[in-house]
Amino acid sequence: MPNVQLKGVSKYFGRIKALEEIDLEIKEGEYVGILGPSGCGKTTLINCITGIVEPTHGTILIDGKNVANIPIERRDFAMVFQSIAIFPHMTVEQNAAYGPFVRNVPKQTRGEISEEMLRLVDLLEQKQLRPRSLSGGAKQKTAVARALANQEKLLILDEPISALDYKVRVSLRYELRRLVKKLGLTAVHITHDQEEAMSISDRLVILRAGRIVEVGTPQQLYEHPHTLFSMNFVGESNFLEGMIKQKRAQDSYRIEFRNNQYIDLQGLKGDFDQGESIILAFRPETMNYCSQEEDNALSGTILRKRFRGGYIRYEVKLLTDDLIIIDSQTLLEEKEKIFIQIDPYEARLFASPEFGLKKVLALE
Amino acid sequence: MVKAHIEIQDLNKRFGKLYAIQDFNLEVERGEYVVILGPTGAGKTTLLKLIAGLVKPTSGKIYKNGELLNNIPPERRNMAYLPQTSDYSLFPYMDVWENTVFSPKMKGDKPWEEIIALGDEILDLVNLRTRYNAYPHELSGGMMQRVALARAMAADADIFLLDEPLRALDARLRIRLRTEIRKLVSDLEKTTFHVTHDQEEAIAVADRVLVINEGKIVQFDIPEEIYDYPSTLFAAYFFGTTNLVLATRARNENNGEVVQAGEHEITIKPKDIIRSFDKQESHSDEEIVLAVKAEKILVTPLIRTKPESQFKVNIFEGTVEQAFFLGKWANLAVQVEGLSKKELHVSIPSSDLHQYNVGTKVRLEIPSENINYFFEPWEVAKRLEMT
């Protein structure tokens, strides 16, 4: 099983800095998701690993070996693309056996390999079909089988399921992860889809404008992100602008919001000073609320409710003039007044960003 | 009587022998936001084009405010059609402002000051006023999307036809923009048809969802109704994360029916009178498909010492095979010995995830009232689940 190390990797295209100072270690057998908005450098990052582009600065080690002078055809990896690249004139079976065929593997072994790969992706029954008679999902599974047939241990997936229908996407992400773990591969998976990235990865790398914003397990990044950008990018959040009115102890603050609204919170992470401008951020499913007046709660009115499948989404206008969202399975009514208590262990406190909240959270 | 804004009667569209649209009948009120949902090839785009007048029906009628549209050309239907292209058919050589005011300028029926005021107002709405002099190639996908919307709004169309308007965008941006678009057109009281294959998007924005498959209407209803009371197996499967369990009918009991799913018995109950069983006879051994949403299965870690009440039905023991963190939710794939389905997907709040690891033994309960069932051959379910 290979590991991949990037040390200070930068890639410039003219004046455009596609990647800047990327330090990243991908361990053996790890499934790493690379997540970021369009143009963040995701594709350039894997192009550097595969050798499609040369980094401007920095070193890339695969299994501890510097690959700077190894051309793409001699780097050992398997790759799956978004634009399902299988040969239309070949059957599923011939597609799967293509890699071994090119490498002059004897016919019988070739047959065995493709048989095994098609069994893994559950396509044995369709092995005689040509791509045009396959569904989108089956086509992409063929591409996966073909990529794996070379029996490389490093699998690079560039938006492998983004072009498929939602239902197919969900089922393929489970199958991909199962496959990678079963075969003991190291996988690097690029996507712009948060849910896909979280469900499939051991660790997630969040990229933005060519830089790594944060690296962590999906749960770390969702529950305890270190940046406002991640808090907004990986799942939705509420952001309240306020100020530290009073600092009572290391982790105990009175926070004041607009319209003289304030709450006391104890147990928040981070060190802030009295008078400092802050952003209080919390996920829509994390607060407690009720319709009776509560101490130390933010009060508001439910403007709208919407059924969302497994839960209901409420839009709530707070007395602070902020509009927040609450996701809950409890039934409340529109125009109802509610009192919201923030759970300090679920909420995050961030220093107010210099150029404004909007700019820090921007997705485009 | 108030006439429906759009009414479709016995609409058919055939391409050769293939029906792209078959026997469509529906009415849409003014200001309604209708999402047309279905898998690739269901006929979604064809339906939009029929309404827009870009495709002629094989038979059937389309009315707008009671007026028959069949012989009215697209440019006189007063509809804005946003096709499914990555450049949103913006004029590449015109900047944001020129694109936006294109239509009123061409019509030439308004004084220039009025056009300026209108353009400013609309660009404010879509949040692009500061970028008025940018050209399409200088904009992000989301911004181009909004320019296309702005142009459609300035044209003063009263019906918006949006074909996968968020397709080319990043997932996170899609989540933000879908609500914004919905708000924009609803504030302007436009009637909207929005095509997507993303059921989550449909639930999030639609007044009513028109579910279609293979050229036919599957169900046309508010999201709650389709989600909780799907009228067909297809609708049940398509919305949410749904477990399809294959069973055979066994026997009637008190107020329910017992079906056999592999080695297990499962009790199902009619949800209400309308949907109740065909009382006449219980066709023993008849194939039936149960559909259970992942969040409607109750899961707890298995505690051996606690005996099960004998009145409880639909209790299973299983083993967690995989656990997926999804943010708000986590999804457990649970293997149940002897069940006709290899694993059940169970959705839990992710804050409970720490209780479950791969290999954890769990107790599952599927309350009878959480089960939708369809008297369909297993083959239909198997075909649905094939990817």
Rounded Cα gap, residues B386 and A300, in angstroms: 47
Rounded Cα gap, residues B333 and A24, in angstroms: 31
Tell whether B208 and B133 lie within a shared domain. yes
Q: Are A34 and A46 in contact (CB under 8 A)?
A: yes
Count H helices, E strands: chain B? 10, 20
pLDDT at position B218? 95
Q: Which residue of A has its CA nearest to B348?
A: A310
Phi, psi dihedral angles at B352 (to 5 degrees):
-95, 0
Closest approach of B199 to chain A, Cα-based (Å) = 8
Chain-chain contact of A165 with B197 (C-beta, under 8 angstroms): yes
pLDDT at position B2? 65
Length of chain A: 364
- Indicate the residue among B235, B250, B278 that finishes a domain: B235
With bands split at pLDDT 50, 70 and 90, how would you rate the model's confidence at A12?
A: very high
Q: Which residues of A touch B180 (CB under 8 A)?
A: none
Tell whether A52 and A167 lie within a shared domain. yes
Domain harbouring A218, CATH code: 3.40.50.300
pLDDT at position B22? 96
A193 lies in which domain range?
4-232
pLDDT at position B334? 96
Q: Which residue of B has its CA nearest to A171?
A: B387
Tell whether A219 and A183 lie within a shared domain. yes
Tell whether B276 and B210 lie within a shared domain. no
Tell whether B248 and B305 lie within a shared domain. yes
Q: Is B203 an 8 Å CB contact of chain A?
A: yes
Helix (H, G, I), strand (E, B) or coil at B131: helix
Is the Cα dihedral B215, B216, B222, B226 positive or negative? negative
pLDDT in tens, B149-185: 889 888 888 999 999 888 778 888 888 888 888 888 8
Does a structural domain hold residue A163?
yes
Q: Does the pLDDT value for residue A1 go beyond 90?
A: no
Tell whether A51 and A157 lie within a shared domain. yes
B28, β-bridge pairs: B6
pLDDT in tens, B65-116: 999 999 999 989 999 888 877 677 889 999 999 999 998 998 888 899 999 9
Domain harbouring B51, CATH code: 3.40.50.300
Identify which of A166, A192, A284 has the shortest CB distance to residue B197: A166
Q: Which residues of A touch B37 (CB under 8 A)?
A: none
Does a structural domain hold residue B99?
yes
Does a structural domain hold residue A193?
yes
Q: Which residues of B touch A198 (CB under 8 A)?
A: 324-327
Tell whether B130 and B29 lie within a shared domain. yes
Does a structural domain hold residue A359?
no
Give, to the nearest 10 degrees, the angle between helix A107-120 and helix A166-183: 120
Structure-model confidence comparison of residues B305 and A59, the more confident one:
A59
Q: Total structural domains in chain B? A: 2
Closest approach of B282 to chain A, Cα-based (Å) = 33
Identify which of A39, A195, A309 has the shortest CB distance to residue B227: A309
Tell whether A69 and A213 lie within a shared domain. yes
Does a structural domain hold residue B60?
yes
Closest approach of B151 to chain A, Cα-based (Å) = 21
Per-residue pLDDT, averaged over B342-363, amounts to: 93
Contacts of B183 (CB under 8 A, 6+ apart): none
pLDDT at position B3? 77
Tell whether A140 and A271 lie within a shared domain. no
Q: Which residue of B has its CA nearest to A200?
A: B324
Does a structural domain hold residue B28?
yes
Q: Are A87 and A79 in contact (CB under 8 A)?
A: no
Per-residue pLDDT, averaged over A340-358, amounts to: 93
Q: Does the pLDDT value for residue B277 go beyond 70?
A: no
Identify which of A178, A283, A309 has the shortest CB distance to residue B239: A309
CA-derived radius of gyration, chain A? 25
E-strand ranges in chain A read: 4-13, 16-26, 31-35, 57-62, 65-66, 78-80, 154-158, 186-191, 203-208, 211-216, 238-249, 252-256, 262-266, 277-282, 288-290, 298-307, 312-318, 323-328, 337-341, 348-351
Identify which of A136, A306, A310 has the shortest CB distance to residue B240: A310
Six token digits for residue A126: 């369709």
In this structure, how many other beta carbons lie within 10 angstroms of the beta carbon of residue B120? 15
Tell whether A49 and A156 lie within a shared domain. yes
Q: Nearest Cα to A343, choosing from A267, A230, A292, A271?
A: A267
First CA to last CA distance, chain A: 37
Q: Is A292 an 8 Å CB contact of chain B?
A: no
Tell whether A74 and A132 lie within a shared domain. yes
Q: Are A287 and A330 in contact (CB under 8 A)?
A: no
| A-contacting residues in B 258-317 (Cβ below 8 Å) | 293-295
B82, β-bridge pairs: B162
Q: Are B219 and B231 in contact (CB under 8 A)?
A: yes
Closest approach of B116 to chain A, Cα-based (Å) = 27
pLDDT at position A270? 84
- Indicate the residue among A201, A232, A263 that finishes a domain: A232
pLDDT in tens, A210-267: 999 999 999 999 999 999 999 999 999 999 999 999 998 888 999 999 999 999 999 8
Q: What is the mean pLDDT of chain B?
A: 89
Tell whether B287 and B229 lie within a shared domain. no
Does a structural domain hold residue A364?
no
Closest approach of B71 to chain A, Cα-based (Å) = 35
Q: Are A60 and A224 in contact (CB under 8 A)?
A: no
Does a structural domain hold residue A114?
yes
Q: Does the pLDDT value for residue B313 go beyond 50?
A: yes
Q: Does the pLDDT value for residue B321 go beyond 70?
A: yes
Q: What is the DSSP letter of A49?
A: H
Q: What is the DSSP letter of B246?
A: E
Domain harbouring B329, CATH code: 2.40.50.100
B362 lies in which domain range?
241-385
Tell whether B92 and B17 lie within a shared domain. yes
Does a structural domain hold residue B224?
yes
Q: Is B375 an 8 Å CB contact of chain A?
A: no
Q: Which residues of B touch A233 (CB under 8 A)?
A: 172
pLDDT at position A143? 93
Does a structural domain hold residue A362?
no
Q: How, if at all, do strands A186-191 and A31-35 pair?
A: parallel
In this structure, how many other beta carbons lie within 10 angstroms of the beta carbon of residue A35? 31
Chain-chain contact of A141 with B387 (C-beta, under 8 angstroms): yes
| B-contacting residues in A 294-353 (Cβ below 8 Å) | 306-311, 327
Strand order in the sheet with B6-15: B18-28, B6-15, B59-64, B67-68
Q: Total structural domains in chain A? A: 2
Tell whether B268 and B172 lie within a shared domain. no
Chain-chain contact of B327 with A194 (C-beta, under 8 angstroms): yes
3-state secondary structure A127-163: CCCCHHHCCHHHHHHHHHHHHHCCCCCEEEEECCCCC
- Indicate the residue among A232, A257, A284 that finishes a domain: A232
Tell whether A194 and A273 lie within a shared domain. no
- Indicate the residue among B215, B235, B255 that finishes a domain: B235
Does a structural domain hold residue B295?
yes
Chain-chain contact of B324 with A363 (C-beta, under 8 angstroms): no
Tell whether A278 and A208 lie within a shared domain. no
Per-residue pLDDT, averaged over B302-316, amounts to: 80
- Indicate the residue among B182, B203, B235 that finishes a domain: B235
Identify which of B141, B204, B387 has the shortest CB distance to residue A38: B141
Tell whether B161 and B77 lie within a shared domain. yes
Closest approach of B114 to chain A, Cα-based (Å) = 32
A23, β-bridge pairs: none
- Indicate the residue among A210, A232, A254 that finishes a domain: A232
pLDDT in tens, B366-382: 999 999 999 999 999 99
Chain-chain contact of A222 with B350 (C-beta, under 8 angstroms): yes
Q: Does the pLDDT value for residue B274 go beyond 60?
A: no
Q: Nearest Cα to B15, choosing from B49, B45, B58, B64?
A: B58
pLDDT at position B346? 97
pLDDT in tens, A13-56: 988 899 999 999 999 999 999 999 888 999 999 999 999 999 99
pLDDT in tens, A50-77: 999 999 999 999 999 999 989 998 888 9
Q: Which residues of A touch B222 (CB under 8 A)?
A: 307
Q: Which residues of A touch B223 (CB under 8 A)?
A: 307, 309
Q: Which ranges in B196-251 belong to alpha helices (H)?
A: 199-205, 223-228, 233-238
Q: Which residues of B touch A177 (CB under 8 A)?
A: 322
pLDDT in tens, A160-203: 988 888 888 888 888 899 899 999 999 999 999 999 999 999 99
Tell whether B73 and B135 lie within a shared domain. yes
Q: Is B333 an 8 Å CB contact of chain A?
A: yes
Does a structural domain hold residue A126?
yes
pLDDT at position B271? 65
Does a structural domain hold residue B91?
yes
Domain harbouring A343, CATH code: 2.40.50.140
Strand order in the sheet with B159-163: B79-82, B159-163, B191-196, B33-37, B208-213, B216-221
Q: How does B246-274 read in b/e, with b if 16+ C-beta sit within 10 Å?
A: bbbbbeeeeebbbbbbbebebbbbbbeee
Q: What is the DSSP letter of B309?
A: P
Tell whether A38 and A160 lie within a shared domain. yes
Rounded Cα gap, residues A227 and A281, in angstroms: 10
pLDDT at position B280? 47
Does a structural domain hold residue B72?
yes
Tell whether A203 and A244 lie within a shared domain. no
Q: Is B93 an 8 Å CB contact of chain A?
A: no
pLDDT at position A129? 92
Does a structural domain hold residue B1?
no
Tell whether B192 and B224 lie within a shared domain. yes
Identify which of B171, B172, B224 has the shortest CB distance to residue A307: B224
pLDDT in tens, A278-328: 999 999 999 888 888 888 999 999 999 999 988 999 999 999 999 999 999
Tell whether B134 and B167 lie within a shared domain. yes
pLDDT at position A242? 96
Closest approach of A156 to chain B, Cα-based (Å) = 20
Q: Which residues of A touch B170 (CB under 8 A)?
A: 37-38, 192, 363
Tell whether A223 and A319 lie within a shared domain. no
Does a structural domain hold residue A134?
yes
Q: Is B134 an 8 Å CB contact of chain A?
A: no
Q: What are the CA-CA distances from residue A102 to residues B43, B92, B313, B382 (Å)?
A: 41, 44, 58, 36
Structure-model confidence comparison of residues A111 and B276, the more confident one:
A111
Q: Is A138 an 8 Å CB contact of chain B?
A: yes
Chain-chain contact of A219 with B353 (C-beta, under 8 angstroms): yes
Q: Does the pLDDT value for residue A122 go beyond 70?
A: yes
Tell whether B273 and B221 lie within a shared domain. no
Q: What are the CA-CA distances from residue A254 to residues A247, A248, A257, B106 (Å)?
A: 6, 8, 10, 59
ipTM of the complex: 0.85
Strand order in the sheet with B372-374: B264-268, B256-261, B242-253, B287-293, B372-374
Q: What is the pTM of this model?
A: 0.89
Q: Which residues of A touch B33 (CB under 8 A)?
A: none
Q: Is A229 an 8 Å CB contact of chain B?
A: no
Percent of the residues in chain A that have a pLDDT greater than 70, as a whole number: 100
